[in-house]
Structure 1
Amino acid sequence: MMDSLSCRTVKVIVLGDSGVGKTCLTHRFCTGNFPSKTEATIGVDFRERVVEVEGEKLKLQLWDTAGQERFRKSMVQHYYRDVHAILFVYDVTNTATFRSLPVWMEECRQHSLGHDVPRVLVGNKADLTASSASSMTLEQARRLADVHGMPFYLCSAKGDGKQQVDAIFMTLAHRLKRQGRLRRKGPSVAGSFKLPAKAKVEREKQEKWACSC
Structure 2
Amino acid sequence: MSNVEKDLKVKILVLGNSGVGKSSFTHLLCHNQANKNPGYTIGCTINIKLHEYKPGTSEEKTFCIEIWDIGASNSHASSRFMFYNNINGIILVHDLTNFKSLQNIPIWLTDVLKHDATGGLTSVKVTSQTTNPTEDVTQCSIPLLVVGTKLDMIGDSRRPEISNRSKLTAVDLACSEIQLDTLEPRYIAAGSGNAVKLSRFFDKAIAHALQRRTTTIGQSPLIDRRSSIGGERRRPNVGNPFSRRLAMKTGHQD
Native 8 Å contact 2:5 2:64 kept in 1: no
**Could you tell me which amino acid in structure 2 is paired with residue 61 of structure 1?**
E
> Quick one: distance in 1 between partners of 2:64 and 2:163?
31
**Could you tell me which amino acid in structure 2 is paired with residue 118 of structure 1?**
P
Where does residue 179 of structure 2 map in the other structure?
154
Where does residue 40 of structure 2 map in the other structure?
40
> Quick one: distance in 2 between partners of 1:95 and 1:176?
28
Where does residue 151 of structure 2 map in the other structure?
126
- 1:57-72 aligned at under 5 Å gives the runs 57-72=62-77
- Structure 1, unpaired ranges of 5+: 185-213
Which is greater in Rg?
2
Secondary structure, aligned partner of 2:17: coil
TM-score, with normalisation over the residues of structure 1? 0.76
The match for 2:97 among 93, 97, 116 is 93
1:137 to 2:156 alignment: no
Task: Count how many residue pairs are aligned between Structure 1 and Structure 2.
Answer: 183
Native 8 Å contact 2:48 2:64 kept in 1: yes
Distance 1:27 1:166, change over 3 A: farther
Where does residue 209 of structure 1 map in the other structure?
none
C-alpha RMSD of matched pairs (Å) = 2.4
Secondary structure, aligned partner of 1:127: helix
Greater relative contact order structure (CA < 8 Å, 6+ sep): 1
**Could you tell me which amino acid in structure 1 is paired with residue 180 of structure 2?**
C
> Quick one: distance in 1 between partners of 2:32 and 2:7?
21
Where does residue 198 of structure 1 map in the other structure?
none
> Quick one: distance in 2 between partners of 1:23 and 1:144?
22
Question: How much has 1:3 moved relative to structure 2?
Answer: 5.5
Native 8 Å contact 2:2 2:61 kept in 1: no
**Could you tell me which amino acid in structure 2 is paired with residue 170 of structure 1?**
S
Secondary structure, aligned partner of 1:58: strand
Could you give the per-residue CA deviations for residues 186-210 of structure 1, whole angstroms, max 9, x where no partner exists? xxxxxxxxxxxxxxxxxxxxxxxxx
> Quick one: distance in 1 between partners of 2:198 and 2:2?
18
Native 8 Å contact 1:45 1:63 kept in 2: yes
Secondary structure, aligned partner of 2:30: helix
